[in-house]
Amino acid sequence: MRVVAQRVKSASVKVNNNLISSITNGLLLLVCVGKDDSSEDISYLVNKIANCRIFNDAQDKMNLNVQQINGEILSVSQFTLYADIKHGNRPSFNKYLADVNKAKNYWKDFNQQLSQLVTVKEGIFGADMKVELINDGPVTIIFDSKEFL
């Protein structure tokens, strides 16, 4: 499982010009389920993301996690995070979980587990979304469960 986390002042998702979800002060997560992922990958990344200290404390040091700042998370599915451009210039996507229903369920499980720790709002799985954000920092962290498990 691969997640790109961006620290944001605000973020929102629209589909067909309709606002689907929005947050203030927290994390925008772009989430991709890999073809070899399991519930272990989900649990690991939920814990890692919820506890990652990337928010500033009173001394302006990155020392607080999203829970400690009462932040929110906006989770957006994005299969292109597993794009492979090693051969040629057109990306191939053979590393993401191609079973759409299974990938959606994994993404939902990830969001549900995360929502036990912090407020989570979602985009729409598989939709053509317009994502707007105001970066804070910017601070961007790439989490890949296969690098840790």
Please identify every residue annotated as catalytic.
80
3-class DSSP state for residue 133? strand
- The DSSP call for residue 74 is E
Copy the structure tokens of residue 92.
Answer: 């191939």
Cα separation of 83 and 97, whole Å?
Answer: 12
Q: How far is CA 57 from CA 64, 67, 137, in A?
A: 6, 13, 14
- The DSSP call for residue 102 is H
Copy the structure tokens of residue 130.
Answer: 């317009």
